[in-house]
Amino acid sequence: MHVRAEPEPEIPEELRQSDVDEWGRSEQMRSLARRVYDPVYKHWFRAEWEGLDKIPTEGGALLVANHAGAIPSDAPVIMHGIETELGRPVYGLADYFFRKAPVLGTMWSRLGGVAAHPDNAERLLREQQQLVLVFPEGTKGPSKRYSERYHLRRFGRGGFVEIAMRAGVPVIPIAVVGAEESMPVVARLPNVARAVGLPYLPITANMLALGPLGVAGYFPAKFKLRVLDPVNFDTEPGRERYSRSRVMDESENIRNLIQQALFDMLKKRRSVWFG
Amino acid sequence: MSRRVLVTGLGTFWGGRVAQALEADPTVDVIVGLDTTEPTVELERTEYVRVDANYSILSRIVKATAVDTIVHTFLVMDPTQITARAMHEINVIGTMNLFAAASAAGSTVRNVVVKSATLVYGCTPQDPTWFREDAVPSEPLHSPVERSLDQVEAYVRDFAEDNPHVNVSLLRFANVIGQEIVTPLTRALQLPMVPSILGFDPRFQFVHEDDVIRSILYVLGHNLPGIYNVAGDGLLPWSEVARICGKRTFPLPPFVSPLMLLPARLAGLVDLPEEYLTLLRYGRGVDNRRLQRAGFDYRYTSAQAVRAFVEASRLRQTVGDHLPSYRYERDVEQFFRHSPAVIGNTPNPAEEPR
């Protein structure tokens, strides 16, 4: 059976009116945000990197870090640092909760946030060879109390390892010191959180000290970030499932690497504020 | 190989355009079109049969015409034009009767193409950015149109399983846009200001109506059983869609519900059903590469499809309806098709009703 040979219609030229990509990220918005955020990064948190050269300048990699601070200050620092130093975009995976929030959800998406769905991670890493940042602790990291600072929570169910194996990309662990003190959680209100539909609702030291300003005002803790050696897997990419024990072992191993690096960095830290 | 094709929904954009394209194909011997309403496009040799919405006489037609191919386009996707009950009758009961007729003993049906929509993936914040054909909805579907399409697809799956000798293709179309088709989204884009939801700017995917018809003909011509997403490349933020249309957006409150829009709907201002309100919050993208891997080339990306729609509506605003208007006149059509006075109507046994 033949398809009728029609004259080719004249196709109007591609005329995009914005630079929002398929994930919702906009380089224009990102560069504006970088300009606004740069003084915070440089002069407030005074972020200092160690081993930034371990992050590849091309090819996909899954960046895995510890997560802390009631409203985590680590994600913007990591994304800003890598984008300014390496000049390549970083997509941050986070709970789909963000998508439900008006304004915030759109902002988050324009600035490189992507809902943490395995399909999204696989497409970003395997097909588009991008840098993807994930916090395997999820909300358990930022919701923990100040007294539990720098004690890594469970790394989910090891999903991040499976994603990296499937995509055939290395996991690059990053240990972050400073986020815990930038917004310490002194108490939690789980019942109120449940009632208003938030994943967690913390009372922070910032709120006690600064009042309403404390909701978004970070303390000027000194940020130190250490990039650890990439972890490569010898598994065949593209498989539907991987050995559960292997995945859990790798996940636990990466968690230990970050935990040990954190203890090491804390040993050397003389002051929370000056590093 | 000559073909005998049954097209459901001949009176709709979909069925009419498919029948027109099939008429130009010399290997198609017979085209029978079913609908509850008369065709709105000019057809030369398609036989139009008026049926009731749920096709109760269908098995007789299938048997009498001995069709080998069914193109099922008579599925309602626009809940604003029809009650939920009528939609259920057309979509679910119609499909049930169609497949009952097609799977009857001695059925000659060997190819089935069904039009579905990406609405069956639902729309929630948990969704992946791109749905593949094997994805399941993140949450149970609850709007009437989504649920009815889901039930339609269940009948399609059952039919395909029970009749392994039949090529069953299920096409899931993203938001269709172009010069003719009218959907809740095209109506929204033709308002003086395009409704949006405050604080949300989700990404939309479109498919041009030409690509819709071409894809149906493509799967017919290449016998491609299975499920295929049909959607243009690329996702566009809703604000950008409005901008391509040269319009500004009018933000509705973030907690807007169909009930809140009722006064606006009654006043004829804006009519956005439930599933489109969630779409304006979270958007939806589908992976269109399975059909591309099967060799299909899209002529339009999402952005190009929107642009083509804008240009067509500009033209319509200036010169009115430029498409040739057509009214079906039964006697005239019967005369042209069957009268011996019309030259070219040499008796052709294949085309005579049996």
Q: What is the mean pLDDT of chain A?
A: 90
Tokens of A42: 């440089």
Q: Which of A20, A118, A123 sits opposite B240 (nearest CB)?
A: A20
Paired tokens of A235: 């598994």
Contact call for residues B76 and B54 (beta carbons, < 8 A):
no
pLDDT-derived band of residue A86, with 50, 70 and 90 as boundaries? Answer: very high
Quick one: which of B240, B236, B199 has its CA closest to A108?
B199
CB contact under 8 A, A3 and B128: no
The separation between the first and the last C-alpha atoms of chain A, rounded to the nearest angstrom, is 74
The model's pLDDT over A43-62, given as tens digits with 9 standing for 90+, comes to 999 999 999 999 999 999 99
* Amino acid identity, position B148: S
What is the tens place of the pLDDT at every residue in A184-195?
998 888 889 888
ipTM above 0.90, yes or no: no
Distance from CA of B261 to the nearest CA of A (A): 19
Q: Tell me if A257 sits within 8 A of A228, measured CB to CB.
A: yes
CB contact under 8 A, A17 and B129: no
Nearest one of A9, A69, A256 to B305, comparing CA atoms:
A9
Report phi then psi at A93, rounded to 5: -85, 135
Give the whole-number percent of chain A exceeding pLDDT 90.
68
Looking at residue B80, its pLDDT comes to 84
pLDDT digit string, tens, across residues A15-35 = 788 899 999 999 999 999 999
Helix (H, G, I), strand (E, B) or coil at A160: helix
B91, B148 contact by CB (below 8 A) = yes
**pLDDT of B82:** 87
- Are A123 and B130 an interchain contact pair (Cβ–Cβ within 8 Å)? yes
Of A8, A17, A105, the CB nearest to B240: A17
Per the CB < 8 A criterion, the answer to whether A2 and B25 are in contact is yes
Chain A CB contacts of B240 under 8 Å are 16-18, 20
Interatomic CA distance for residues B16 and B40, integer angstroms: 7
Residues B297, B218: Cα–Cα separation, whole Å: 10
Contact B129/A23, CB-based, under 8 Å?
yes
**Cross-chain residue pair A96–B126, CB shorter than 8 Å:** yes
The superfamily (CATH) of domain A27-268 is Glycerol-3-phosphate (1)-acyltransferase (3.40.1130.10)
DSSP state of B39: -
Q: What was the pLDDT predicted at B324?
A: 59
Q: From the CB of residue B97, how many other CB atoms can be counted at a distance below 10 Å?
A: 19
Q: Do the chains contact at A120 and B128, CB–CB below 8 Å?
A: yes
Provide the pairing of β-strand B226-230 with B175-177: unpaired
Cβ proximity of B66 and B45 under 8 Å: no
Domain range summary for chain A, segments of one domain joined by +: 27-268
Chain B hits for A8, Cβ within 8 Å: 299
Mean pLDDT for A227-248 is 94
Size of interface A-B (CB pairs under 8 A): 101
* Contact (Cβ atoms closer than 8 angstroms) between residue B310 and residue A20: no
Q: If you compute the radius of gyration of chain B from its CA atoms, what whole number of angstroms results?
A: 21
* ∠ CA B83-B98-B17, rounded to 5°: 75
Distance in angstroms (rounded) separating the CA atoms of residues A4 and B23:
9
Residue of A72, A74, A192 lying closest to A142 (CA atoms): A72
Indicate the residue of B127, B210, B282 with minimum beta-carbon distance to A9: B210
Chain A environment of B301 (Cβ under 8 Å)? 14
CB B171 within 8 A of CB B211: no
Residue B231's CB is within 10 A of a number of other CB atoms, namely 30
Distance CA A15, CA B307 (A): 8
pLDDT tens over chain B, length 354 residues? 689 999 999 988 889 999 999 999 999 999 999 998 888 888 888 889 888 877 778 888 888 889 999 999 998 888 888 888 999 988 999 999 999 999 988 889 999 999 999 999 999 999 999 999 999 999 999 889 999 999 999 999 999 999 999 999 999 999 999 888 889 999 999 999 999 999 999 999 999 999 999 999 999 999 899 999 999 999 999 999 999 999 999 999 988 888 888 888 888 778 888 899 999 999 999 999 999 999 999 999 999 999 999 999 888 888 876 565 667 777 777 777 777 777 766 555 444 444
CB < 8 Å to A17, chain B: 240, 243-244
pLDDT at A97 over 90: no
- Residue A20 Cα, gap to closest chain B Cα (Å): 7
User: Which of B40, B32, B22 is CA-nearest to residue B181?
Assistant: B40
- The burial class, CB within 10 Å (0-12 / 13-18 / 19+), for A211 is exposed
Instruction: Please give the pLDDT value at position B350.
Output: 47
Residue B284 CA to residue B144 CA, distance in Å, equals 18
pLDDT digits (tens, 9 = 90+) for A109-138: 999 999 999 999 999 999 999 999 999 998
- Selecting from A1, A22, A102 the residue whose C-beta is nearest the C-beta of B25 gives A1
Say how far residue B78 (Cα) sits from the centre of its chain: 10
> Alpha-carbon torsion A178, A180, A186, A191, what sign?
positive
Which one, of B49, B12, B146, lies nearest residue B92 by Cα?
B146
Quick one: average pLDDT of A137-165?
Answer: 91
At B255 the pLDDT is 86
pTM: 0.89
Minimal Cβ distance to A96: which of B125, B199, B303: B125
